Structure 1
């Protein structure tokens, strides 16, 4: 760090794990039409003015403490390459610990993929989707020469700070220590991003699945979770009760006062679930059990406990231990409905997909659940084609119950 005046604050435990592995998450929008590169640069510059965290770097201070460092003088990473738009990370440059970047891949026709990348230490999925929507609002305004009066937001707070503000003690939401980070770093990973698998329901099937959830006393998340557990057990040839299922829970609306999207970095609790024997024989009952346990965890505060429940203790932390854990761990993350993304008349956003550059944390490949343009979609690099087929079959079967 060049000057103590640049220090914003140290990273909190809920943010440090993402720093240790340089974990970025990409929010890729596939577009067709006239993409104005200069307007995109201008829009991102304004977004960085509004949210100074996007101009920050994540570095170690003089005591090796991970910190957020204000670095407004650093040029924004906003690059453009030519390539296949089905690979939004093609040609991605080194991000050098910057908090955010824009990467564009232009196809041979009038298509392109524009990806907002945010460091997971400074924003979770819901926070970053808010930023993505604002980026496209700003782009549309820039193309149309609409005057913009940026209103600066403060740096976002950590989960620990927000909980302490609300009288919720520090307790168990701290994450594991450096011994566990070191062991996980030894887990072998693919040198390049694994091919993604996508499951998508039509808008009609998505609406029907939602109706099934309402009539059965569960949710889309409960139904998808049940399908993922049953399909994973069947495709791996293991008993369903041997799987440990975990998924983050957005706490913003569950805290009083409510937390706005830009106010916190990773405002996430963690829900855990282990199915009973033969639970795959009744997916609706399994979905209700998952939803019921989540509601109980919110009521009791268990979802505030963080993600350490299934982690080995420090003296158990080895790469072999983690590899054994990964063989039983199933993780999903539900980003919900992708917000409306505005564009000028000569540009259309045709699709949205999550992307993650490879690093040790992506060894725990999550199933990212989104709904875009009314269509439920599950993206992952964790699935076999057999598991993918089974999940789709289960979801279609449950959707048909409402038709």
Structure 2
């Protein structure tokens, strides 16, 4: 059985000082995923469930060690590991303190917090981003609720101890993506870096100090009710688009309104997170705890007052083409094979706005007396470009505007969140287009 393996080049970045993946600083980045619930969560059964999760998913109970004489890092399974559970009182402010707290990964790569706020509770799983992506983290959260609910019912679920560590995503991609495909992408990136102006980005407007009383790392939530979310989905279908594409269109339009100059077209890049599980052979299920996240970007010329639907169609068509070319898989491998400064500059280029769309999250089972109000997910690092994290839980869309207040001021980012919400509500009220005899395909 494999109870130790060397970290891949992709994974090593998450455990190396000052490392970046593209424009994103990833070294030591924590991933927070959890649920706010009405009712009281019992810490005793929750501790047992956390131990079961660590038993089933071996990366959760690993430590990172020097793997050999060459200094390579390795994951080593800890047979005696039990995840820590911190229990405290507090609501939203306590949650913000948590996501702003430095994480000590020496004690383990997985732990949890239980926050109690009057009649409500908040369970937060804290996972090192080097061993999990958003998709597997939300799947782990759902498994936590299934196990907790079964335990409350007196049955429990089997928790067989798994020892074999899953292969890293770049290890799995190596036999799938050819060297020629990676070289082709590097050539394209080098050409793009040497031609044309850099994409417009939001200028820093904070004082550069990390002393915001509410915490350096911030999030503003846009929460739509089930009716508005349903109307937005219906509008997307009527226009041959996805909700994700419409979100990108609305976000680009909202960000363009904050950019200078206020008139004329600006070059902008919409970054999108991409899940590589479907690129692996065999395809990896979401239930496997592993970081399989990559990304892609769409370059657009965006006028002031641009139509979100037109922007959404551009993003949709470009994303479809990029996925057909397997750009996210090629990008992850290309980042390890940079040959010169032009390619390095292209990798460092910051998107104007980045979007991480988790998609639909299944409604979690809960014991009698508990009901989930909302799910949450958060990952941020110092100097990271602003991003949106979107997901739909129980028919309600949540979009989080996430940013570093040492770089981007709360007033302007708050306006971005309000403008984005207004744009999404307007899109949801937009009637279906007149029949043309053509049938668009949703991306």
* TM-score of the pair, normalised by structure 1: 0.83
2:19: which partner in 1?
Answer: none
Question: Quick check: 1:85–1:105 contact (8 Å CA) kept in 2?
Answer: no
Distance 2:230 2:43 in 1: 37
Q: Counterpart of 2:63?
A: 57
Matching residue of 2:133: 124
Deviation of 1:55 after TM superposition, in Å, equals 0.7
Q: Deviations over 1:361-392 (max 9, x none)?
A: x6234210111121111112336122112211
Residues 28, 116 of structure 1: 8 Å contact kept: yes
Match of 2:15 in 1: 19
Q: 1:283 aligns with which of 308, 312, 321?
A: 308
Secondary structure of the residue aligned to 2:392 is strand
Shift of 1:7: 6.3
Change (3 A) 1:388 1:379: same
2:391 paired with 1:391: no
Q: CA RMSD in A?
A: 3.2
Match of 2:5 in 1: 9
Shift in CA distance, 276/67, structure 1 to aligned 2, threshold 3 Å: same
- 1:94 to partner: Cα distance: 3.9
Q: How far apart are the structure 2 equivalents of 1:389 and 1:42?
A: 41
Q: Deviations over 1:125-158 (max 9, x none)?
A: 1111111111111111222221432234442322
Matched, 1:401 2:426: no
Contact 2:3–2:77 (Cα < 8 Å) also in 1 = yes
Structure-1 residue corresponding to 2:267 = 242
Pick aligned residue for 2:322 from 278, 297, 307: 297
Partner of 1:352: 375
Equivalent residue in structure 1 for 2:355, among 332, 350, 353: 332
CA deviation vs aligned residue, 1:68-96 (integer Å, no higher than 9, x gap):
22123234221111223453254568432
Count of matched residue pairs: 378
1:205–1:118 Cα change, 3 Å: same
Q: Which residue of 2 aligns with 1:178?
A: none
Q: Distance in 2 between matches of 1:106 and 1:13?
A: 40
Find the partner of 1:41 among 43, 47, 55.
47
SS in 1 for 2:284: coil
Question: Hey, what's the Cα distance between the residues in 2 that align with 1:242 and 1:398?
Answer: 23
Unaligned runs of 5+ in 2: 17-26, 187-207, 404-411, 433-443
Instruction: Check the 8 A contact 2:267/2:301 in 1, yes or no.
Output: no
Aligned equivalents of 1:248, 1:292: Cα separation in 2: 16
8 Å Cα contact 1:209/1:399 also seen in 2 = yes
How far apart are the structure 1 equivalents of 2:209 and 2:123? 26
CA distance in structure 2 between the aligned counterparts of 1:23 and 1:61, rounded to whole angstroms:
22
Q: Is the 8 A contact 2:253 2:307 kept in 1?
A: no
Length-normalised TM-score, structure 2 = 0.76
Q: Is the 8 A contact 2:362 2:394 kept in 1?
A: no
Secondary structure of 1:275's counterpart equals strand
Distance 1:157 1:301 in 2: 20
Quick one: which of 371, 377, 392 aligns to 2:392? 371
Structure 1 runs not aligned, ≥5 long: 176-187
- Matches of 2:209 and 2:267 in 1, distance apart? 24
Instruction: State the SS of the aligned residue for 1:121.
Output: helix
Q: Is the 8 A contact 2:221 2:401 kept in 1?
A: yes
Shift of 1:123: 1.0
SS in 1 for 2:273: strand
